[in-house]
Structure 1
Amino acid sequence: MRWSVERAVVGVVDGGTPSERIAGELRRRIAAGELKPGARVPSTRRIMQEWGVAMATATKVLNRLREEGLVRAVPGVGTVVAAPASAGAPAGAAVPVSAAAPAPAPVKAPASAPVRDAGRAAAATGVRRGKGGERDLGRERIVAAAVRVADTEGLTALSMRRVATELGVATMSLYRHVPGKDELVRLMMDKVFGEQPIPGGPVSDWRTGLAEVSRLQWRIYRAHPWLASTMSFTRPVLAPDAALHTERAMAALVGTGLSGEEMAQASVSLAAFTCGLAVHFEREAQAEQDSGLSADEWMDRLADEDRDRLMADPERFPMFDALARGPEIDMSLEALFAFGLERMLDGVGALIEARGRAGRDG
């Protein structure tokens, strides 16, 4: 039934993939003026609901329209219709939102949202046209463009074609410098880990040294929300600048009485905790883009009766009931990271103390 509805709505003959048919319908709406420049187009979740397709298909639809210059991503707003190409203005350039499609109300970024500088914000307004084109193309320039795309549009929007569009070059020209997307992502990881150098010199104590590394990783993940989802602690990729973080953490534990295995496990466990919590940066950025609401604004709009209904049974949820009656508590990502990091370090400290007692008793 969903397939029949989709075919009827899209209004095209059989043939082509679902993403092509949906993209064709959205092109028709844009061409007919139903979606005017500056108007929000359906989000990935809306496409999934309206046409009954998977997230991957919905993502392909928006990526295809971005590559064609018909839409552009605006952080905190969503994907909007781009201005028609005109002399002196490339397709996808930023334009004022039309009167028929009023601009969404400005939203306040949550405390956990990634901090983007003016250069990244400018990247979200449309396709960048790199100076020099293919003549000046090199690996470093390609990787920098890929990071811009991932920072502003998310990792799902990243493709070799999308990076080529960002640079204003032919897609195939990228392959002379980078063999494919997997290698590109590896290079992106190494680049962003190397953006903020690890402090050198000896640390005053092991706890300070470990905390320093973890907080640095947290800042990097916050600046690049897509990064945490690319990390693997079972199949790590060769990224020297990322490996330096583990090297520094293990060095901080030298002389504590831990074995080499324990130093490695403690260092990687801390990195995994930081990464696992940082995954929510990307999820929140996507949710904010789809809804146009920050986490705080979303909570404010959650009806009081819905919250009351969730906690309507104090016998079943006595702890939640007690919390609801007390002062407001901070459950932001920043607060959870700060609390969790200290408790992780407490655990390492307990292990170091145990090893010290064993050595004294022995």
Structure 2
Amino acid sequence: MAENSTGRGEPSRTLALLWGEPTETPKRKGPPRSVTVDQVVGAALGLADEHGLAAITMRAVAERVGVSAMSVYTYVPGKPELLDLMVDACYAGMTRTPWGRRGWRSRLAAIADTNRELLVAHPWLTEVAALSRPPLGPGVMAKYEHELAAFDNTGLSDVDIDAALTYLLGFVQAHCRSAHDAARATTDTAMSDAEWWAANQAVLARAFDAESYPRAVRIGSAAGGAQGSAWAADRAWEFGLARTLDGLAALIGEQ
């Protein structure tokens, strides 16, 4: 399992932290604690949002929250547990509006949109939020319950509902990873897509030989002209989400 992913901490300690339950750690001696676990998690979230996962070290978190490097471990045992707490806190903060009488396509599109918004706000989540081992805290459970409710009255079995939700969220995660990669490429090269293509015209003229690669030249040119680059995040999102929902319609039917 990747180093930065959920579900790597010791389960009993992680669950106790997630649900605010007492741990088996002996009562500490000395002055009362000056900060809370929530403040530690908030400091870690700020570091991750500003500088990415590489910035998340226990020492850096301790410095930001204003405690010693060693005392931060009395709040959170280590980085694996901290990552679980961070992910759960992000999920807990999501807006959850009752589904009402909306059709299933509208409900599932809303799930996709809110998860995309979350991953855009916290890009590092695509690297740590493992679908197979989510942190089973109150944020995760509230998110799961709300999103499952979007499948009410679709006629799907419980097993298919879970699979359909995983399928939908998998599309969202894959899209957001691609969008983040595209954004990083722009940042790393200090060039927009349009500038990159313009700077490589001489090479492209040789590579895009219409006689050798007729489809690549014709279709690539049409797509590039339509969306202004080889890949456009919003266009890819609209097309991919529609096709994902079309796939689920084969199970649910248009209602």
Q: TM-score, normalised by structure 1?
A: 0.55
User: Any idea what the Cα deviations from partners look like across 1:64-103, whole Å, max 9, x if unmatched?
Assistant: xxxxxxxxxxxxxxxxxxxxxxxxxxxxxxxxxxxxxxxx
In structure 2, do the counterparts of structure 1 residues 290 and 245 end up closer, same or farther at CA, with 3 Å as the change threshold? same
- Report the 3-state secondary structure (helix = DSSP H, G, I; strand = E; otherwise coil) of the residue aligned with 2:253: helix
1:193 maps onto 2:91 in alignment: yes
Question: What residue is the counterpart of 1:153 in the other structure?
Answer: 51
Q: TM-score, normalised by structure 2?
A: 0.76
Question: What residue is the counterpart of 1:343 in the other structure?
Answer: 243
Deviation, structure 1 residue 283: 3.4
Aligned residues: 221
For structure 2, list consecutive stretches of 5 or more residues without a partner in the other structure. Answer: 4-31
Deviation, structure 1 residue 282: 4.3
2:204 to 307, 310, 314: 307
Deviation, structure 1 residue 136: 3.4
Question: What residue is the counterpart of 1:280 in the other structure?
Answer: 178
1:326 maps onto 2:222 in alignment: yes
User: Any idea what the Cα deviations from partners look like across 1:134-168, whole Å, max 9, x if unmatched?
Assistant: 96321111111111111111112211112122234
In structure 2, do the counterparts of structure 1 residues 324 and 332 end up closer, same or farther at CA, with 3 Å as the change threshold? closer
Distance 2:197 2:71 in 1: 48
Distance 1:211 1:152 in 2: 29
In structure 2, do the counterparts of structure 1 residues 167 and 190 end up closer, same or farther at CA, with 3 Å as the change threshold? same
Q: Which structure has more helix as a fraction of its residues? A: 2
C-alpha contact (below 8 Å) 1:246/1:267 kept by paired residues: no
- Report the 3-state secondary structure (helix = DSSP H, G, I; strand = E; otherwise coil) of the residue aligned with 1:196: coil
> Structure 2 matches for 1:155-304, cutoff 5 A?
155-284=53-182, 286-291=184-189, 293=190, 295-296=192-193, 299-300=196-197, 302-304=199-201
C-alpha contact (below 8 Å) 2:93/2:139 kept by paired residues: no
In structure 2, do the counterparts of structure 1 residues 195 and 250 end up closer, same or farther at CA, with 3 Å as the change threshold? closer
- Report the 3-state secondary structure (helix = DSSP H, G, I; strand = E; otherwise coil) of the residue aligned with 2:140: helix
Deviation, structure 1 residue 220: 0.4
> Structure 2 matches for 1:40-55, cutoff 5 A?
none
Paired residue type of 2:93 = E
RMSD between superposed Cα atoms in Å: 2.6
Distance 2:33 2:45 in 1: 21
Deviation, structure 1 residue 244: 3.3
User: Any idea what the Cα deviations from partners look like across 1:282-305, whole Å, max 9, x if unmatched?
Assistant: 4345445544x2543653554212
Q: Which has the higher contact order (CA 8 A, sep 6+)?
A: 2
In structure 2, do the counterparts of structure 1 residues 240 and 338 end up closer, same or farther at CA, with 3 Å as the change threshold? farther
Deviation, structure 1 residue 195: 2.3
For structure 1, list consecutive stretches of 5 or more residues without a partner in the other structure. Answer: 1-55, 57-133, 357-362
> Structure 2 matches for 1:39-118, cutoff 5 A?
none
Q: Which stretch of the first structure deviates more once superposed, 217-226 or 232-241?
A: 232-241
Distance 2:125 2:144 in 1: 17
In structure 2, do the counterparts of structure 1 residues 194 and 204 end up closer, same or farther at CA, with 3 Å as the change threshold? same
In structure 2, do the counterparts of structure 1 residues 325 and 232 end up closer, same or farther at CA, with 3 Å as the change threshold? closer
Distance 1:279 1:299 in 2: 21
Distance 2:136 2:127 in 1: 16
Q: Which has the larger radius of gyration?
A: 1
C-alpha contact (below 8 Å) 2:134/2:140 kept by paired residues: no
Distance 1:162 1:285 in 2: 26
Deviation, structure 1 residue 320: 2.1
Deviation, structure 1 residue 182: 0.7
